[in-house]
């Protein structure tokens, strides 16, 4: 996971932060080792960026993986990252998530947190519930948001089965970042569709 290259030109408006390798490994461990939601499964990674979660899912035995991102530059890096670790079967798609159709066993995502564009995380969560039987979605940790997310999930036919609290350490990515490493408290939601 450490060898997956970050985005060379992240866009602030899209909240493009490469998920740290440790956080990605923790999410993937929870999804596979604890819940068995990757091996032999069809997996979609919404807002896949440079592909760290997609590649990890493939390495853990996912049968079919689709990584989707609106940014063609991110997808180009993701494809090179997959090839650099010997993974060639991932379908990399340049698209807005709203255009994605189908059904997947598992959706994994580190969506925008909605800091730059309010509600961006909500769009991702709604789409993930529409597409996936099981969803792993990462959101900024906030006790007030937890109730909102739980209600949103239930409104769209899902149920939160687990909530894992985690820390991510983000390197300086944009000009306004002044810390060497910024700690971000996040919540990983595991959601099961009732559909």
Helices assigned H by DSSP within 44-193: 52-59, 72-84, 120-131, 143-155
Residue 85 domain flag: yes
Residue 189 domain flag: no
Token pair listed for 30: 């929870």
Boundaries of domain holding 80 = 12-163
Residue 6 domain flag: no
Tens of pLDDT along the chain (195 residues) come to 667 776 666 666 666 577 888 999 999 999 999 999 999 999 999 999 999 999 999 999 999 999 999 999 999 999 999 999 999 889 999 999 999 999 999 999 999 865 556 767 889 999 999 999 999 999 989 888 899 999 999 999 999 999 999 998 776 555 655 666 667 899 999 999 875
Residue 5 domain flag: no
Rounded Cα distance between 131 and 105, Å, is: 8
- Given a contact cutoff of 8 angstroms between Cβ atoms, the answer to whether 20 and 168 are in contact is yes
Residue 107 domain flag: yes
Residue 119 domain flag: yes
- Can you give the pLDDT at residue 162? 98
- Can you give the pLDDT at residue 144? 84
Query: What CATH number is given to the structural domain containing 59?
Result: 3.40.50.150
Residue 135 domain flag: yes
Residue 144 domain flag: yes
Q: Tell me how many domains the chain contains.
A: 1
Q: Exposure of 164 by Cβ count < 10 A (0-12 exposed, 13-18 middle, 19+ buried)?
A: middle
């Amino acid at each position: 996971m450490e060898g997956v290259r970050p985005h060379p030109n992240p866009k602030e408006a899209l909240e493009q932060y490469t998920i740290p390798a440790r956080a990605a490994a923790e999410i993937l461990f929870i999804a596979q080792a604890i819940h068995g939601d990757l091996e032999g499964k069809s997996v979609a990674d919404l807002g896949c960026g440079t592909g760290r979660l997609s590649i990890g899912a493939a390495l853990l035995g996912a049968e079919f993986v689709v990584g989707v991102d609106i940014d063609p530059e991110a997808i180009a890096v993701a494809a090179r990252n997959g090839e650099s670790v010997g993974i060639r079967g991932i379908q990399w798609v340049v698209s807005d998530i709203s255009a994605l159709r189908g059904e997947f066993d598992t959706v994994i995502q580190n969506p925008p947190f909605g800091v730059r564009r309010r509600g961006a995380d909500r769009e991702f969560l709604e789409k993930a519930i529409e597409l996936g039987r099981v969803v792993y979605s990462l959101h900024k940790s906030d006790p007030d948001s937890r109730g909102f997310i739980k209600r949103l999930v239930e409104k769209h036919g899902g149920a939160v089965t687990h909530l894992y609290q985690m820390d991510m350490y983000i390197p300086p990515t944009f000009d306004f970042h002044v810390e060497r490493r910024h700690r971000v408290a996040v919540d990983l939601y595991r959601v099961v569709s009732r559909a």
